[in-house]
């Protein structure tokens, strides 16, 4: 997965939800969208890169959404 592309896509999602007046609703919306429309390996790649400190281009809103919803965004172990 190209992390730069994933960051760009995540930031685009964040830009849409940044218009929400309720910050928590925006954070949940970002996480829900990524969970619903991204395949698991895309979500895991972005989360792993973020947690490893390899991503610094995420907007603060997207960064917070990913960190607050890690469990939701990771696929369940089988």
* 61 belongs to a structural domain: yes
Residue closest to 53 by CA, chosen among 63, 40, 62? 63
* 19 belongs to a structural domain: yes
Task: Provide the greatest CA pair distance for the chain.
Answer: 38
Q: pLDDT tens, 7-33? A: 999 999 999 999 999 999 999 999 999
* 78 belongs to a structural domain: no
* 75 belongs to a structural domain: no
Q: How confident is the model at residue 77 (pLDDT cuts 50, 70, 90)?
A: low
Q: How confident is the model at residue 78 (pLDDT cuts 50, 70, 90)?
A: very low
* 77 belongs to a structural domain: no
When divided into structural domains, the chain yields a total of 1
- Residue 1's pLDDT is 78
* pLDDT above 70 coverage of the chain, percent: 97
Residue closest to 28 by CA, chosen among 36, 4, 59? 36
The dihedral over CA atoms of 70, 1, 33, 37, expressed in degrees to the nearest 10, equals -120
Q: What is the mean pLDDT of the chain?
A: 95
């Amino acid at each position: 997965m190209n992390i730069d592309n994933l960051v760009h896509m995540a930031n685009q999602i964040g830009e849409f939800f940044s218009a929400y007046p309720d910050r928590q609703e925006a954070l949940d919306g970002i996480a829900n969208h990524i969970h619903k429309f991204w395949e698991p390996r895309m979500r895991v790649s972005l989360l792993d890169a973020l947690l490893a400190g390899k991503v610094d281009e995420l907007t603060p809103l997207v960064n917070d959404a990913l960190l607050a919803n890690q469990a939701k965004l990771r696929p369940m172990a089988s």
